[in-house]
Amino acid sequence: MKRRNFIKTVGAISALSLSPLLAAKIPKLKKSSKVLILGGTKFIGPIIVERLIAEGYEVTLFNRGITNPHLFPQLEKLQGDRYPAKGKGLTSLISSRVWDVIIDTWAENPLCVQDTLLLLKNRCKQYIYTSSMAVYPDDLLSTRTGITELESLPKDPLPQSHNVDLNYSVSKRIADTLVSAISNGCVLRPHSICGVNMDHISDNQRYWPVRIQRGGVIAAPGDGADTTQYIDVIDLASFILKCIEKNLTGVYNTFTTERFDAYLYGLKALSRTRSEFIWLPQEYIYKNNIRHYTDMPMWAARQVVKGTFTISSEKAIQAGLSFRPLSETFSDVLAGFYRNETNEYEFGVGNSKAGLSRAREEFLLKGYKT
């Protein structure tokens, strides 16, 4: 399907998605409720800010004023840097000022989270941190199904300085542990965030909807009974408001779970092109050095990796986490893709870190005998 035709096809949904947060029905709190967002202008930040504004919160942003500084000109902005030695550091936060809620989405050196906790944890009623399911260690994800928030995490040491680079999982895990330890801490562990205005998300989330839009014979992994997990950024923002509304504390796994066949057929329903899935047995996939997660994004054989896509989010669902229809989430993903790319874009090669290239998929299908 050509880019212009696709845009016409999903135009109605995409147009609504420019400000979809206004439609969500969560009770408004008093306009005097004050929220400080550490960041707010990148990745999931703008969606959270939009939602808070729509619900009547008094929002203040703290950031460097460098990333998307044009956003939210009507809001108070405190300028500084999470790294104390850079620019103004945290000086604009050093005061006796208080907020009802602080929202932190930091993903780098966890000492920066420790710094803001020491400075702000007693100046707010609730400190919300967006962590990640990546905090669960690989050995646990490989061997256990139905992982819950009660699992003990490895005790990683704090880095010796703010200049130490840690991998994403370790950074998030340390920060997650720090926020979980305070009485007013609320920690969210999302999985594969995607959706509206997330044009820069990885090809992990973009591969399947785009591949199905292209049509033809499609190499699909396994028998369809494996599961996948992801969270629409709008659903994540809505749950953050639910956490504020209920003054929730503790840890919450935040994502939806879909059978892989339901996921792919749901994406197929978005397309006007003809396509056919050839379900390749996991033995054949692994024999041909096709990697789960990367070559076959959003997927792993349940017999090989038991936990990654079977983590329980029941606690969050019981607390009010809800999900937009798959069609809305991935119409937004597709619209974001076609804003920046064409159907000539090649997955699995060059700058793309996920998915099968056209040539590799063709080779895989030709070698398979049903």
Read off the pLDDT of residues 293-348 as tens digits, 9 standing for 90 and up.
Answer: 999 999 999 999 999 999 999 999 999 999 999 999 999 999 999 999 998 999 99
**Whole-angstrom Cα distance, residue 101 to residue 194?**
25
Kindly report, residue by residue over 257-283, the tens digit of the pLDDT. Answer: 999 999 999 999 999 899 999 999 999
- The alpha carbon dihedral of 300, 302, 306, 310 has a sign of positive
Q: What six digits make up the tokens of 120?
A: 């702000």
> Which stretches in the chain have pLDDT values below 70?
1-32, 370
Radius of gyration of the chain (CA): 21
The pLDDT, as a whole number, for residue 4 is 43
Please classify residue 283 by burial: count the beta carbons closer than 10 Å to its beta carbon, then call 0-12 exposed, 13-18 middle and 19+ buried. Answer: exposed
Residue with tokens 């370790």: 170
Q: Helix, strand or coil for residue 280?
A: strand
**Whole-angstrom Cα distance, residue 330 to residue 267?**
7
The pLDDT, as a whole number, for residue 242 is 98
Domains of the chain: 3-194+231-257 (3.40.50.720), 203-228+258-308+326-366 (no CATH)
Tell me the residue type at 180. Answer: S
> Global pTM?
0.91
The pLDDT, as a whole number, for residue 370 is 63
The pLDDT, as a whole number, for residue 17 is 36
The pLDDT, as a whole number, for residue 21 is 41
**Whole-angstrom Cα distance, residue 244 to residue 227?**
30
The pLDDT, as a whole number, for residue 352 is 87
Q: What six digits make up the tokens of 199?
A: 């044009």
DSSP string, 187-218: EEEE-SEE-TT-TT--HHHHHHHHHHHH-EEE
**Whole-angstrom Cα distance, residue 209 to residue 207?**
6
**Whole-angstrom Cα distance, residue 72 to residue 307?**
40
Cβ contacts of 260 within 8 Å, gap of 6 or more = 220, 221, 222, 224, 225, 226, 227, 228, 298, 299
Q: What percent of the chain has pLDDT over 70?
A: 91
The pLDDT, as a whole number, for residue 27 is 43
The count of residues in the chain is: 370
Asked if residues 10 and 334 have their Cβ atoms less than 8 Å apart, the reply is: yes
Strand partners for 186: 128, 250
